[in-house]
Amino acid sequence: MTTALAPTLTTADRCDRCGAQAFIRARLTGGQDLLFCAHHGREHLDKLRTIAEEVIDETDRLDVPTEG
């Protein structure tokens, strides 16, 4: 049996830059989180990977195929 894990980010998580739904979370030293939409997250992803303890990138959720 396979159990699907719930996404780490929810629709309540908003981009710190523009307020759109966040798909990227960068956890900084000290436990601070920066949240970004796919657009702003991709813009800053290389830099975030160098300064963050952890980067969670869920932009693959944007490419879910639809029925119909």
CA distance 65 to 19: 25
The pLDDT assigned to 37 comes to: 98
pLDDT in tens, 2-54: 555 666 899 999 999 999 999 999 999 998 999 999 999 999 999 999 999 99
Query: Hey, what are 46's tokens?
Result: 């290389």
The pLDDT assigned to 42 comes to: 95
Give the pLDDT band of residue 63 (cuts 50, 70, 90).
Answer: confident
10 SS3 class: coil
Residue tagged 């979370």 (tokens): 25
Contact 24, 56 (CB under 8 A): yes
Query: Hey, what are 42's tokens?
Result: 């991709």
Predicted TM-score (pTM) of the model is 0.81
